[in-house]
Amino acid sequence: MAQAGESPGPAAAQPRPGTRERPLRVGQLLHGANRVLDRQIGTIWIEGEVESLVRASSGHLYFALKDARSQIRAVMWRSDAARLKFRLEDGLSVRCRGRVAIYDRDGKFQFYAQVIEPAGLGADALAFEQLKAKLAAAGLFAAERKRPLPLLPRRIGVVTSKSGAAVRDIIRAVQRRFPVPILIADARVQGPSAPAAVARAIAALCRCPGVDVIIVGRGGGSAGDLAAFNDERVVRAVVACTVPVISAVGHEIDLSLTDLAADRRAATPTMAGEMAVPVLADMARRLAGEERRLRRELDHRLRVARQDLDHLDERMKGRVSGAVAQRRRRLGDAQHRLETLHPRRRVMADRARLAELHLRLDKLHPRKRLLADRARLAELSARATDIVRRRVQDGARRFGGLGGRLDALSPLRVLERGYALARAGDAVVTSADQVAPGDALTVRLRRGQLGCRVETVEPGNE
């Protein structure tokens, strides 16, 4: 061993193994480190966000847990993963219980998870939401696949426990409204075996003849009591059912996946029985109303049919009459053609044609034409003379009328009534202002005229 102040020699820098200082194999080192970790840390709970999840074909889960600053690789063996109540996914915040160790093969430090719980929702609530999202994405809750309930089922199937209160509530509701046969498929509605039992009962009722609607449900209870109706097997059995399904699980505030998949959801078993059948009195009133409507419709159709029959009868008579008349016309035409083609008829026609030609030839003879032209000329001469005479008479009458009108408008007519016409040169004097004393005037009278001179002028007032 080197003294203080001395620099170590080659032997001190690389000591040779002695009896108390032997090198460890890698496996021994990792095994010892794991014993230290197990002794110092042991089983712990850690919390983080799942990342890089890989599901191996063997069933093991490989993932990483991280927080804002760090991450650690983690693994969950198949036996522990099978006990998970929800589906582990990337991005989930979880709390994991397990231990830390170093993987012997590659020396990686990782966490071995034995139990995983959601950090927010409970495991059951998270599993419910995950299954709900999965089934909704598959279209099992779609409104377009929901079927209407039959108006009056021949038989009602009920899937529930025969010892529960729900079956009695359903029977009472059906018998009170409209008694129809009820077929009960007894099934456990609570416990681990309940989902398979309910699914088998639904499938069995689907195969029963006459069952037109099925009621699936049970009375109220805790979330754990209703867990069977949140199972995927029950939901798929409801969807695969060949007849409409009414879900009546728990109370109105309880909502199960079976409620979402069923064709109708009832708040209680009693309400489910009321949904399945109508009220007998209402049906009687409805049938009476339908009977009255059908009678009115039948009477109306009979009246229309009678009118149509009358119209067809008239059309048929018209067609028959028309056909008979057409046949008669055709027969008459045939008879006329036959008579026309007879030799005697042809001889008579030829004689008539010959007489017509003789008449035309006689009319076309020159002497006949001359006589006709003379008669036509005499007629035209008489018509011309008459026209000239009428026109002369009309002209004389118009001339006399115009002369009378001219005579009435003549100034001489005014002079004949004692008036005179004064002129100063060529101008007619109509006012005293036109002349002055000493001016010469010519005064025209009815007979003759006077030469005058103006002595005085007296202007008149207009």
Distance CA 89, CA 53 (A): 7
Residue 74's domain comprises 25-120
**Is 421 part of a structural domain of the chain?**
yes
Q: Is residue 389 a part of any domain in this protein?
A: no
Give the pLDDT of residue 181: 92
* Residue 100 domain flag: yes
Q: Are residues 146 and 241 in the same domain?
A: yes
Same domain, 269 and 173: yes
> Which residue is listed with tokens 């991005």?
91
Together in a domain, 136 and 272: yes
Could you say which of 120, 144, 163 is where a domain stops?
120
As for how many domains the chain has, the answer is: 3
Within this chain, do residues 106 and 203 fall inside the same structural domain, yes or no? Answer: no
Of 227, 259, 278, the residue at which a domain comes to its end is: 278
| Confidence (pLDDT) at 258 | 86
Query: Is the same domain home to 144 and 265?
Result: yes
The pLDDT assigned to 344 comes to 73
| CA angle at 111 for the pair 108 and 113, rounded to the nearest 5° | 145
Assess whether 51 and 100 both reside in one domain: yes
314 part of a folded domain: no
The pLDDT score that the predictor gives to residue 10 is 43
Same domain, 243 and 143: yes
Beta bridge partners of 72: 65
| DSSP for 391-435, written as a single string | HHHHHHHHHHHHHHHHHHH-HHHHHTTT--EEEETTEEP-SGGG-
Tell me: do 32 and 106 sit in the same domain.
yes
Q: What is the pLDDT of residue 462?
A: 56
Domain assignment present for residue 336? The answer is: no
Position 382 scores a pLDDT of 86
Q: Put residue 42 in one of left, alpha, beta given phi > 0 → left and psi -120 to 50 → alpha.
A: left
Q: Is residue 305 part of a domain?
A: no
Q: One digit per residue, pLDDT tens: the chain, 462 residues?
A: 333 344 444 444 455 555 456 787 777 787 778 788 777 788 888 888 888 889 999 899 999 888 878 888 999 999 999 888 888 888 788 889 998 888 877 788 889 999 888 876 556 667 777 888 888 888 888 889 899 999 889 999 999 988 888 889 999 999 888 889 999 999 988 888 999 999 999 999 998 999 999 999 888 776 677 888 888 899 999 999 999 999 988 776 778 888 898 999 998 888 998 888 888 877 778 888 888 889 888 888 888 888 888 888 888 888 888 888 888 888 888 877 777 777 777 777 778 888 888 777 777 767 777 777 788 888 888 888 888 888 888 888 888 888 777 777 777 777 777 778 888 888 888 888 888 888 888 888 878 888 899 888 887 765
Residues 253 and 169 in one domain: yes
The reported pLDDT for the residue numbered 95 is: 84
Output helix, strand, coil percentages for the chain, rounded to the nearest 5: 50, 20, 30
Per-residue tokens: 321: 């009459």
How far does CA 413 lie from the centroid of its chain?
A: 99
| CATH number, domain containing residue 56 | 2.40.50.140
Tokens of 225: 């009591």
Do residue 234 and residue 251 come from a single domain?
A: yes
Query: Are the beta carbons of 34 and 42 closer than 8 angstroms?
Result: no
Measured between alpha carbons, how far is 258 from 195 in angstroms, rounded to an integer?
A: 11
Only one residue has tokens 């030609």, namely 357
Looking at the structure, tell me whether residues 416 and 437 fall in a common domain. yes
Partners of 450 in the beta sheet? 443
How many helices (H) and strands (E) in the chain? 13, 14
- Whether 327 is in a domain gets the answer no
Domain assignment of residue 36, yes or no: yes
Q: What is the CATH number of the domain that holds 239?
A: 3.40.50.261
Note the pLDDT of residue 200.
93
Query: CB–CB of 224/250 below 8 Å?
Result: no
Q: Do 163 and 66 lie in a common domain?
A: no
Look at residues 83, 107, 212, 221 and name the one whose alpha carbon lies nearest to residue 165. 221
Domain boundary among 255, 278, 301: 278
61-66 and 71-76 as β-strands: parallel, antiparallel, unpaired?
A: antiparallel
